[in-house]
Structure 1
Amino acid sequence: MANRRRQANERKGRLAEHIAAIWLMAKGYRLIGRRLKTPGGEIDLLLRRRDSLVFVEVKARPTLDMGVAALHRAQARRCQAAARWLAVRHGWPGAVLRHDAVVITPWALPRHMIAIWREEA
């Protein structure tokens, strides 16, 4: 039973990431990668827009409030560490690193939240 639930959540997450990627590309972003694994964590989507590398966390929740509540501080630290690792590893000097989120809810357009976390020193 738990395995089926995990598989259903995995499918739901992949669908949400696909919807978010399409939504952002329609807004002029260029997709660089999906589900990028790093020693510090995973980045759901990596996109580029002008001189910015945009690291996107995707949340699929029943309500927007639940999606926003799922974007907690510990997750911010993991995403920031993963973003720095990817930027150094792939040699994107001078690129502005930005952390966005997209919340996917039933029967609503995706909600794109820009610059939800600031880089920690």
Structure 2
Amino acid sequence: MKRQRAEREGRRGERRAELWLRAKGWSILDRRRKTPAGEIDLVARRMGVVAFIEVKWRKQAADLAFAIDEYRLRRVAAAAEAVAQDYVRDGDDMRIDVILLAPGRLPDHIVNAWQP
């Protein structure tokens, strides 16, 4: 039961992140893209940049400080590398972003969160 609730809340968080990105001029290319290396929550494009985005939703804003770590970012980066050819065109830049969400606050969009 707890797992199902967390899954529902995570999906709601991804929808909120998607709406926020669209309002900022991003086009959503894909959602919940599964790869052998892991899952990418959102793939988005804006002005020659393709962002592979990890979305984290927490009930309390204080918990967001621990929502993302090097291990998770490495998995998203590996997943992005596995499917980049499906989204990135010649001349595009590619990056890994994170969007942190909690009730009562604006999304925190961490640009280029993974730099190996």
Asked if these proteins are the same fold (TM beyond 0.5), I'd say: yes
Cα pair 1:20 1:58 within 8 Å, conserved: yes
Question: Is 2:18 the partner of 1:21?
Answer: yes
- Name the CA shift for 1:113/1:90 in 2 (closer, same or farther; >3 Å): closer
2:97 corresponds in structure 1 to: 100
C-alpha distance in 1 between matches for 2:6 and 2:89: 33
- Name the CA shift for 1:90/1:60 in 2 (closer, same or farther; >3 Å): closer
- Name the CA shift for 1:97/1:10 in 2 (closer, same or farther; >3 Å): same
Taking structure 2 as the reference length, the TM-score comes to: 0.91
Count of paired positions: 116
Cα distance, 1:84 vs structure 2:
0.9
Taking structure 1 as the reference length, the TM-score comes to: 0.87
How much identity, in percent, do the aligned residues show? Answer: 39
Could you tell me which runs of 5 or more consecutive residues in structure 1 were left unpaired when the two chains were aligned. Answer: none
2:103 alignment partner, SS class: coil
Could you tell me which runs of 5 or more consecutive residues in structure 2 were left unpaired when the two chains were aligned. Answer: none
C-alpha distance in 2 between matches for 1:90 and 1:99: 13
The more displaced of 63-72 and 38-47 is 63-72
1:60 is matched with which residue: 57, 61, 64?
A: 57
- The root-mean-square deviation of aligned C-alpha atoms, in Å, is 1.5
Residues 1-121 of structure 1 aligned to structure 2 (within 5 Å): 4-89=1-86, 92-118=89-115, 120=116
Deviations 1:56-104 (A, max 9, x none): 1100113444223221111111111111111135563442111111111
